């Protein structure tokens, strides 16, 4: 019988984007707990430094990268500085979702900023990191997207569009990456994060109700009977980043408590 593949990330180096809170911060914690050296990237220096201090207190090696995914020149320089210290084997593409609203009420220009942040920045990072991954024979790219890839979510028209673009980009890329270098999407369902709280407040205002009622309506759609914790999504990301995830490639995996109705 062959050995069971490891879920350890010891000896690997990861870059986690959008790590200042929510699923991104939970992913950085999961990676560090699994033994990875972690570079955490976001715009908020204070929140990154707080997370870095937490992880270092537990023995992790952490690099803090203050960068804006829309400033691609600055982003490239920051990542080049990381690569100067050694290759990165894991990349987590993650950033805040676009504003809500109906597509018919949305100006065409509203698509440009999120496309830059979600698609172009991710593509740039892949182009920077894949040569080192390929040379070392190990690479894991995980995109944190949304269940809207499968079922569009009402009043999130721009987000639905951009998330689908990311999924199409990743699937196309999956056939071009060399053996040992994989790309997959994780699709969070209703997850208890500040982003969901913001969407809940907007929905409550739009519908003339309160946030508790909105939350209850979301939970009612989930067979598991609750919202997800960011740590649960992070656990799936950590698995995909590990040697145990080696044969998963070009997949979009929902972590949604069974909410999606599609097969």
Hey, which residues are catalytic here? Answer: 150
CA distance 101 to 98: 9
CA-based nearest residue to 70, from 111, 18, 117: 117
Token pair for 240: 């995909």
CA-based nearest residue to 146, from 227, 241, 253, 248: 253
Residues in Cβ contact with 2 at an 8 Å cutoff, skipping those fewer than 6 apart: none
CA-based nearest residue to 161, from 118, 193, 196, 192: 118
The residue ranges of DSSP E strands in the chain, in sequence order, are 13-17, 37-42, 62-66, 90-93, 139-144, 181-188, 252-255
CA distance 242 to 233: 15
- Estimate to the nearest angstrom the gap between the alpha carbon of 208 and the chain centroid: 32
C-alpha dihedral over 50, 56, 60, 63, to 10 degrees?
50
Beta-bridge partner residues of 191? 228
CA-based nearest residue to 24, from 96, 128, 99, 117: 96
- Sign of CA pseudo-dihedral 231, 241, 223, 145: positive
């Amino acid at each position: 019988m062959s050995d069971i593949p490891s879920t350890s990330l010891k000896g690997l180096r990861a870059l986690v984007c959008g790590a200042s809170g929510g699923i991104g911060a939970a992913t950085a914690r999961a990676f560090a707990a699994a033994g990875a050296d972690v570079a955490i990237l976001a715009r908020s220096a204070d929140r990154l430094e707080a997370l870095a201090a937490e992880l270092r207190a537990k023995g992790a090696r952490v690099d803090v990268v203050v960068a804006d995914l829309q400033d691609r020149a600055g982003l490239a320089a920051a990542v080049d500085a990381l690569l100067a210290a050694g290759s990165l084997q894991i990349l987590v593409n993650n950033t805040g979702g676009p504003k809500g609203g109906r597509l018919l009420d949305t100006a065409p220009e509203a698509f440009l900023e999120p496309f830059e942040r979600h698609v172009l920045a991710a593509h740039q990072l892949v182009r920077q990191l894949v040569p080192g991954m390929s040379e070392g024979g190990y690479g894991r790219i995980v995109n944190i997207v949304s269940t809207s890839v499968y079922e569009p979510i009402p009043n999130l028209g721009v987000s639905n569009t951009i998330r689908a673009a990311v999924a199409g980009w990743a699937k196309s890329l999956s056939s071009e990456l060399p053996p040992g270098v994989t790309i997959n999407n994780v699709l969070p369902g209703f997850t208890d994060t500040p982003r969901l709280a913001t969407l809940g407040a907007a929905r409550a205002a739009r519908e003339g109700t309160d946030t508790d009622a909105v939350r209850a309506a979301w939970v009612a759609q989930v067979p598991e009977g609750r919202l997800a914790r960011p740590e649960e999504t992070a656990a799936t990301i950590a698995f995909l980043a590990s040697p145990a995830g080696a044969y998963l490639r070009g997949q979009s995996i929902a972590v949604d408590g069974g909410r999606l109705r599609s097969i």
